[in-house]
Amino acid sequence: MDVTPEDIPPEQLWQRLQATEAALAEMQLLYETSRRISAAADVDEVIAAYLEHVAVRGRYTCTIVLYEFNAQGERQQVRICGRWSPTDGLSLAQTTIPYSADSLDAPLDAGQTIAFSDVHTDPRGTDALRQLQRESGRPALVFIPLLVGGQRIGLVILSYHEITQWEPSELRPYEVTAAQLAIGLSTRLQQQLLSASGQALAVLQERHRLARELHDSVTQLIFSITLIAQSISPAWRRNAGEGEKRVARLLELSQHALTEMRALLFELRSPEPISTPSDTATNLPGIWLVQRDGLIKALRQHLHNVNRYGPKVTLKADSYQPQPMEREIALYRISQEALHNIVKHAQARQVLIECGQENGHCYLRVRDDGVGFAAASLHHSDLSGGFGLRTMRERAEALGGTVTITTAPNQGTEVQVILP
């Protein structure tokens, strides 16, 4: 027998909603932390970004330490790189102390979080650790390992001036973002080494490319997730069935976002190209859809999702002829970004996307009937210097093309891309 939302007890429905909102908050924290760290230029900026975005949400002193290794890969020094505390704020003053092995190394190397309610009475605490915490006046202590490729490169250390029973819910924001911090730190440390050997330019280009892909593929999904999440409570109050549908859609988009993120992480981990999925694969990243089905079919699938909760979007592609894959991917990403800006800013009801060939050129036009804006503001607002328009232009210019924006207040906006 099918179970409808009306058959589920209100308490259970409310629990589902709370669980969904908690998952959304965690995903938003992961995304925002990733975005802040990806914009950091060096190790100090990565640490500052983490402390200012994650540590400030809690009431604990948060310290980041990194290890210095010898030629054999053994830890030699512990470098205290940065700290945030509720009383003193952010400090990036660095101190180095000798490293000494102890019984905590094995569980930390295995990725376990170690929590001390009171380091002075816990039998796992060493004499040196107790002395350090006695001097700082913070008996409660947590070690969260920073692991990259199976190697522990450092720790996130939480401490508190009172004996504390650490709750998993309080530790989870630090734990779920520790992997992002570790990757960010490892990447910047490797960039420093590559810079010394003359490879900095290639690394920066690759980092910029991945940042652009992250923005184009995941930002739109996160924004859609946020819009739907904001509408769940009002929809549920009106009709439990509609609320249930929106929760299902939220989970679907969350899975899609995770798939996109995994695809980008695969690129970071593997030099091999990603194989195109089979015809039976579902919940595919947009680029895989382009590779498998071509630009027009992939766009139709994307527009199907936009039309469910955004303005009405129509695609006209009668004169379009298939292009080389590099061009189709660029046109798909530019379309995504243009639609994202429309949903976010334009207040549009109708959107028309046209793809085709004319006068020996391939064109893409995205036109909306929204509020528009003064063309002069292109030179002063985030539309000019922001990541979105910049990436659209970069993608077109890399193929020898151009991007033109035509707009006026209350006259809508048209984005036109011409590829020779």
Same domain, 57 and 184: yes
Same domain, 192 and 53: yes
Beta carbons of 302 and 336 less than 8 angstroms apart: yes
Query: Which one of 166, 197, 228 terminates a domain?
Result: 197
The single-letter DSSP state of residue 16 is: H
- Does residue 317 fall inside a structural domain? yes
- Does residue 408 fall inside a structural domain? yes
Query: Which one of 197, 229, 263 terminates a domain?
Result: 197
Question: How many residues does this entry show for the chain?
Answer: 420
Same domain, 186 and 300: no
Beta carbons of 141 and 121 less than 8 angstroms apart: no
Same domain, 172 and 71: yes
- Does residue 267 fall inside a structural domain? no
pLDDT tens digit sequence for 223-254 = 667 777 777 888 788 888 887 887 877 777 77
pLDDT band at 382 (very low <50, low <70, confident <90, very high): very low
**In one letter, which amino acid is 136?**
S
The candidate with the shortest Cα–Cα distance to 416, out of 398, 392, 399, 394, is 392
Q: Domain range for residue 53?
A: 40-197
The per-residue pLDDT for 281 is 43
Number of structural domains the chain divides into:
2
The per-residue pLDDT for 359 is 86
CA distance from start to end of the chain: 59
Same domain, 46 and 189: yes
- Does residue 3 fall inside a structural domain? no
- Does residue 25 fall inside a structural domain? no
Query: Which one of 163, 197, 231 terminates a domain?
Result: 197
Q: Is 414 helix (H, G, I), strand (E, B) or coil?
A: strand
Q: Is 321 helix (H, G, I), strand (E, B) or coil?
A: coil
Mean of all residue pLDDT scores within the chain: 80
- Does residue 212 fall inside a structural domain? no
Better-scored residue on pLDDT, 84 or 263 = 84
Beta carbons of 299 and 365 less than 8 angstroms apart: no
CATH (domain of 339) = 3.30.565.10
- Does residue 75 fall inside a structural domain? yes
The per-residue pLDDT for 58 is 83
pTM surpassing 0.75? no
pLDDT tens digit sequence for 406-415 = 888 888 899 9
Tell me the CA distances in angstroms from 311 to 308, 340, 355, one per residue in order: 8, 11, 19
CATH (domain of 177) = 3.30.450.40
